[in-house]
């Protein structure tokens, strides 16, 4: 078994981005890429994600701003924030951190984002272009996953890929990306969800298994083919007496047993997570270079 070391690849990509920021922006007297995040309320996972993103931005020389609002902000007011960020020429791209409070319709908010600044790739225009294989912003986690496969030279053409979970953020877009006529891509993709029958039997046929269900330890060794490639998108805080913080992170896959059977596997933490952050940076760089219209 070999680790798909997302932390290592993300660090390499960050070095590449930092070089580009220096050469293409700072050395020419151009303002570096500027990313903004809108954070509503205090969801703990959202706070962690935004904090990691800010840290990564500083490492590569981007400017990063966070706009914080209380959970009781109205939808109207949040739309005004989006309008303001769309219009601000200093800001190259921004994200509205999800989930939003129940009284706000996230689709209404996302549709208001200028697709040229939608570095999350969540706007219907970007998702539509992704389906059509046109230049667009790819959602960060799927983009991170295909980059990891690419950098480890893992062939996807003609392979059976099974995706567990059909979220709008991960499962649905990654299944589309990998079935596109493209490299990585050209795979035969099966997308499993809550109505799928006999998920263990379907998963066991996968050459590449991508797990994004949000159920800790769901994938056990019997659900994995010998020498399969396993990508674990799950992140769960589990109480632990072995760490100072009193918890540790675990994925949707039973890593200890599955890792003995597969050819490659992503660890949690240090697999998909760092690739997601670095993909958002890559999208921001493309936004700053006006590569997506």
List of residues contacting ligand GUN (CB under 6 A): 95-98, 120, 140, 169
Our CB check for ligand GUN shows the closer of 57 and 96 to be 96
Residue 43 vs 59, nearer CB to ligand GUN: 43
Query: In the complex, what is the shortest distance from the CB of residue 169 to ligand GUN, in angstroms, rounded to a whole number?
Result: 5
Least Å distance, CB 98 to ligand GUN, is: 4
The CA distances from residue 208 to 14, 146, 262, 265, in Å, are 26, 12, 10, 10
Bridge partners, 213 (sequence order): none
Q: Cβ 92 to ligand GUN, closest distance in Å?
A: 16
Task: Provide the annotated active-site residues.
Answer: 53, 97, 120
Tokens of 243: 């760490």
As a whole number of angstroms, the distance between CA 165 and CA 235 comes to 14
Say if strands 2-3 and 264-265 run parallel, antiparallel, or are unpaired: parallel
- Residue number, 53 or 159, with CB nearest to ligand GUN: 53
Min dist CB 103 to ligand GUN, Å, is 18
**Position with the least CB separation from ligand GUN:** 98
Whole-Å CA distances, 292 to 117, 172, 179, 210: 9, 22, 22, 28
Give the dihedral sign, CA 132/134/136/139.
positive
Of 140 and 161, which CB lies nearer to ligand GUN in the complex structure? 140
């Amino acid at each position: 078994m070999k680790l798909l070391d997302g932390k290592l690849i993300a660090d390499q990509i960050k070095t590449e981005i930092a070089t580009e920021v220096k050469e293409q922006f700072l050395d020419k007297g151009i303002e570096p890429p500027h990313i903004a995040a809108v954070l509503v309320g205090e969801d703990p996972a959202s706070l962690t994600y935004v904090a990691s993103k800010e840290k990564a931005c500083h490492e590569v020389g981007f400017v990063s701003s966070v706009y914080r609002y209380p959970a009781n902000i109205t939808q109207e007011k949040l739309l005004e924030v989006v309008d303001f960020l769309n219009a601000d020429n200093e800001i190259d791209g921004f994200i509205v951190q999800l989930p939003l409070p129940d009284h706000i319709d996230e689709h209404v908010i996302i549709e208001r984002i200028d697709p040229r600044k939608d570095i999350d790739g969540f706007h219907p225009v970007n998702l539509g272009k992704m389906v059509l294989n046109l230049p667009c912003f790819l959602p960060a986690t799927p983009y991170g996953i295909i980059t990891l496969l690419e950098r480890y030279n893992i062939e996807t053409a003609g392979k059976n890929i099974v995706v567990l979970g059909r979220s709008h953020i991960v499962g649905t877009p990654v299944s589309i990306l990998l079935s596109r006529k493209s490299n990585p891509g050209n795979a035969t993709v099966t997308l499993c969800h809550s109505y799928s029958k006999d998920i263990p039997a379907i998963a066991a046929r996968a050459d590449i298994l991508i797990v994004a269900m949000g159920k800790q330890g769901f994938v056990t060794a019997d659900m994995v083919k010998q020498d399969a490639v396993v990508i674990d998108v799950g992140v769960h805080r589990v109480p632990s007496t072995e760490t100072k913080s009193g918890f540790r992170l675990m994925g949707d896959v039973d890593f200890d047993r599955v890792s003995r059977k597969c050819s490659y596997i992503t660890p949690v933490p240090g697999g998909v997570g760092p690739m997601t952050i670095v993909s958002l940076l890559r999208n921001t760089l493309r936004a700053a270079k006006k590569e997506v219209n």
